[in-house]
């Protein structure tokens, strides 16, 4: 383990939306403050045992805003007290669909979440919706809530997942919608995967459209480089790749970490522990255990046969599939959940291998070009 650990904490498994491609098996479970206290003490004791200095908690659901702001205020106090008693640092991030946002959230978002919220919207939106409504209703409520939050000074980061219509529309239109029409200057484009129970929408995800996705991502990179990069627009993971190839410090997404099991776990409202949100909500066979049924998180993780498989994955891929890859030290075989939901096994390389190679090559070239321009322009090189 590194000196930092991330925890995806699902405070409730309820949601007020009904997105067709959702990978979560939703339930009515909600975390109580008593149970949160027990969970956090075990996580912090684990950090003491492993000499880990800091914890980042990513609060998600279901829909995290279905618990009230006062619950998070008390959770914040409780976690601060327990962390201070052990000399540990904890920072919090909030991921929400924003449908339940109102101004009564402003204080806790400022105090606990750095006045920032991560949310999700696709363009065009085919699959994100409220039960019994068309995706347009979701878009309208989302846009209203986001605009209210931004008017209150809250920073909004957006995660978007491309669908087949996104690929047909193209990167230019996609970028213009987020940046020019919605005023979003920080967004991340995640590759789709058919996690959880199968559905028609999941079958329609463009998982096998690697060539079209490659075109989309590289065109998006070019639009961003031409129009957004110098104006402070961030488009993940392309911006992080540019920094990486430009030899700058870069925060790359977990899909390219050396082994996500080294630095991240997820715990849900029932106390189940697994690798991340998709595993914990939808694949009970891949749970590491339950934090409320163990004395020590360290022991739970150490003795979990499932976690052993996650730890073995990178080395098996290096030996079999990725050894000769130029980008091995960057990609490490990619994401276990994308692999599992497409191939039914952990021990294959990420189904987006060819897409990643195209993205890496494109951003490497872009970084080289920028370095050449900088060295040819003394004021830029200084």
Shortest Å, Cβ 358 to ligand SF4: 10
By CB under 6 A, tell whether 186 contacts ligand SF4: no
- Please report, for residues 92, 143, 251, 359, the alpha-carbon distance to residue 8 in angstroms, rounded to integers and kept in the order given: 10, 26, 17, 27
Sheet holding 4-10, edge to edge: 89-94, 54-60, 4-10, 264-267, 272-274, 289-290
Binding mask 44-63 for ligand SF4 (x = CB under 6 A): -----------------xxx
By CB under 6 A, tell whether 15 contacts ligand SF4: yes
Binding mask 192-231 for ligand SF4 (x = CB under 6 A): ----------------------------------------
Strand duo 289-290 + 264-267: pairing: unpaired
Considering only residues 84 through 113, tell me which ones interact with ligand SF4, judged by CB under 6 A: 97
By CB under 6 A, tell whether 252 contacts ligand SF4: no
Binding mask 125-164 for ligand SF4 (x = CB under 6 A): ---x------------------------------------
Considering only residues 257 through 316, tell me which ones interact with ligand SF4, judged by CB under 6 A: 260, 264, 275-276
Please select the residue that binds ligand SF4; options are 5, 9, 10, 19, rule is CB under 6 A.
Answer: 19
Q: Find all residues with CB under 8 Å of 185, minimum gap 6, and list them.
A: 179, 228, 231, 232, 233, 234
Considering only residues 312 through 371, tell me which ones interact with ligand SF4, judged by CB under 6 A: 321-322, 325, 327-328, 331, 333-337, 349-350, 353, 356-357
Q: Find all residues with CB under 8 Å of 98, minimum gap 6, and list them.
A: 65, 117, 119, 142, 145, 146, 149
Show the CA angle centred on residue 351, arms to residues 350 and 356, nearest 5°: 75
| Nearest-angstrom CA–CA distance, 130 and 139 | 10
119 three-class SS: strand
* Site for ligand SF4, rule CB under 6 A: 15, 17-19, 22, 24, 61-63, 97, 128, 254-255, 260, 264, 275-276, 321-322, 325, 327-328, 331, 333-337, 349-350, 353, 356-357
């Amino acid at each position: 383990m590194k000196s930092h650990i991330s925890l995806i904490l699902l405070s409730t498994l309820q949601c007020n939306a009904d997105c067709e491609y959702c990978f979560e098996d939703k339930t009515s479970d909600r975390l109580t403050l008593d149970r949160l206290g027990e969970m956090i003490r075990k996580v912090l004791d684990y950090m003491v045992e492993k000499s880990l200095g800091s914890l980042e908690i990513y609060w998600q659901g279901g829909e995290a805003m279905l618990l009230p702001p006062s619950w998070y205020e008390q959770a914040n106090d409780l976690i601060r007290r327990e962390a201070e008693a052990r000399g540990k640092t904890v920072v919090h991030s909030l991921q929400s669909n924003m449908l339940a946002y109102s101004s009564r959230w402003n204080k806790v978002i400022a105090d606990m979440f750095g006045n920032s919220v991560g949310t999700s919207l696709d363009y065009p939106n085919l699959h994100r919706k409220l039960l019994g409504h068309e995706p347009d209703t979701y878009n309208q409520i989302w846009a209203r809530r986001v605009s209210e939050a931004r008017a209150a000074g809250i920073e909004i980061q957006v995660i978007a997942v491309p669908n087949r219509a996104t690929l047909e529309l193209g990167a230019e239109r996609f970028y213009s919608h987020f940046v020019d029409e919605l005023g979003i200057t920080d967004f991340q484009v995640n590759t789709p995967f058919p996690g959880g129970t199968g559905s028609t929408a999941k079958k329609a995800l463009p998982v096998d459209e690697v060539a079209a996705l490659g075109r989309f991502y590289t065109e998006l990179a070019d639009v961003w480089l031409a129009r957004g990069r110098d104006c402070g627009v961030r488009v993940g993971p392309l911006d992080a790749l540019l920094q990486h190839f430009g030899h700058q410090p870069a925060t790359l997404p977990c899909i390219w970490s050396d082994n996500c099991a080294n630095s991240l776990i997820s715990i849900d409202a029932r106390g189940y522990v697994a690798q991340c949100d998709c595993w914990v909500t939808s694949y009970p066979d891949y749970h590491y255990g339950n934090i409320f049924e163990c004395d020590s998180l360290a022991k739970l993780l150490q003795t979990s046969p499932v976690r052993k498989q996650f730890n073995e994955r990178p080395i098996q891929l290096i030996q079999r599939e990725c050894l000769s890859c130029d980008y091995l030290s960057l990609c490490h075989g990619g994401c276990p959940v994308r692999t599992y939901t497409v191939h039914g096994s952990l021990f294959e390389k990420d189904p987006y291998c060819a897409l990643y190679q195209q993205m890496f090559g494109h951003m490497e070239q872009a970084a080289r070009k920028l370095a050449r321009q900088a060295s040819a322009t003394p004021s830029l090189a200084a």
